[in-house]
Structure 1
Amino acid sequence: MDKQAFLAIITQHQGMLYKLCRLYRDTPEDREDLFQEMIYQLWKSFPSFKGNAKISTWIYRIALNTALASFRKKHLPVTYTDTFPEIAQPDHGDNEQQELFFTALKQLSDAEKAIITLYLEDMSYQEIAGIIGIEENYVGVKLNRIKNKIKSLLNL
């Protein structure tokens, strides 16, 4: 396995992973644990990536499944700090507006979180449909409903 290629891919797509961690965990410590679990699961699966899908699609599927599985287990995942010390979460300097937005996102269902996260990653309706497993034209309908729900939650 090519560790350098893996680290380059993770570095390129770490923003998506951080967003998922923020949606599924409340504390910085829990987010870090989830991030590390995602990295571990991606590393374990990396040799089986065949290139049939875009790398971002593959990463998202594994990361989302990891977030949902660990969320349902109701316990913190094992940490893997010694495995990938080269990957460090940057300090994003959260502001109040971001906090309000993420608080609203956390109130969405798991399916809604998944769709809006992909949308925020600038994925096309076709890509979102392929990852989520719904029809492409239904993605737009779902996104409009999710956006309206977020506006309502934010009292806009």
Structure 2
Amino acid sequence: MHFLANGDELGVAVAILPADHGRKVVGRVVLDYEARCLRRKRLSTEGGAAFMVDLPQTVSLDPGAAFALADGNAIEVVEAHEPVLRIEGDLARLAWHIGNRHCPCEMADDHLIIRADPVLEDMLRKLGANIAKGYAPFRPEGGAYGHGRTFGHSH
């Protein structure tokens, strides 16, 4: 992989590529959950090279995605480690309370993960949850009517 130096301009990202895109990667950008939802924004790679994202519509980036640059190269998207809460206990009941607050939630057979939030943490502890704090990429469940995030209730 060849990464460009600090201060270089990479141009414009015009599309999103899947993980197995096969293009030359000229940089990496680390984005948290919120930042992985975008349409138009100026970003910088780990090495400081700037580029503009200009997509036709708002997208939620999947793990392993990349930005397709207008020159045919790519910028790899890496999920940032961010503060999360790992929740164990009566998962059905706890998931209902999390969902009732429209909080994105990552679900597994034996635990739930949400972004760290002291108010939700307190509520979940009062409901009997066992909670561990940590740092990890946050990958919540997608919407019921499609993949990725939902953007409202117009489904």
TM-score of the superposed pair, with normalisation by structure 1: 0.19
Structure that is richer in helix per residue: 1
TM superposition score normalised by structure 2:
0.19
Instruction: Write 1 or 2 for the structure with the bigger share of strand.
Output: 2
Larger radius of gyration: 2
